[in-house]
Amino acid sequence: MKDKIILALDLTNVIEALELADELRGGLSHIKIGHQLYAQGGMAFVKKIMQMGHNVFLDLKLHDIPNTVRMAVEELSSHGLWALSIHSSGGKKMLEEARKATERAGVSTKLLAISVLTSFSQEVWQEVNPNSTIQEALLARARVVTEAGIHGMVCSPLDLPIVMPILQNKVTTVIPGVRLIAGGAAKDDQERAATPERAISSGADYIVVGRPILEAQDRIAAIEEIAADMAKGKKHTEL
């Protein structure tokens, strides 16, 4: 199950990030790089992580007019990324242009569409989306992601039961907001979180984990514990 864990490399500087990526060679195969480290190190930093043998998920959440996103996807995917995030709220046309960009380039980069950020509670959602619920948005975005032929969708583990009937195992599910202890999200900015076991049993293909690994005294042991919890969830799906 370790191959289904994506480490969110949310560290403050590229030197520390490179040291950790080197430490985890062979113990973890997928790493997610976000805005801060990309802003510091750019594609040169990303390539160093890839040269260590890690599959890189570049999480930039691209969201703009279709042509602008197309050009960004063409450039970023040309470097051999495992995955690149775009935002489903950009609409079907934007998503289609992003997909076509990878097809024209002949690359294997997976496009992962963000659904609704895991930091949103229903109350906060209503501040900027007063006429809809999170559930309504999830359903609409799952449909457009499927129709646009996007490879994967990123959503909260608690949102999987809502979107899975639409995705129908045709779209890879990548799940952030995973904590080893149920309810652990109350300590941080993840409002809609769940354990690795629950995420996998609900239909997650990959889980994204940051702080439970980064803040662990023994990071390898933390990865093993997460993988073991995921295996319990896998057993539930096989029953």
Catalytic positions: 61
Which conformational region is residue 106 in: left (phi greater than 0), alpha (psi within -120 to 50 degrees), or beta?
left
In whole angstroms, how large is the CA radius of gyration of the chain?
17
Output helix, strand, coil percentages for the chain, rounded to the nearest 5. Answer: 50, 15, 30
Q: Which residues contact 80 (CB under 8 A, 6 or more apart)?
A: 50, 107, 109
Q: Which of 239, 172, 228, 227 is nearest to 28 (CA)?
A: 227
**φ and ψ at 95, to 5 degrees?**
-65, -40
Q: What is the DSSP letter of 218?
A: S
- The count of other CB atoms within 10 Å of the CB of residue 3 is 11
Distance of alpha carbon 127 from the chain centroid = 25
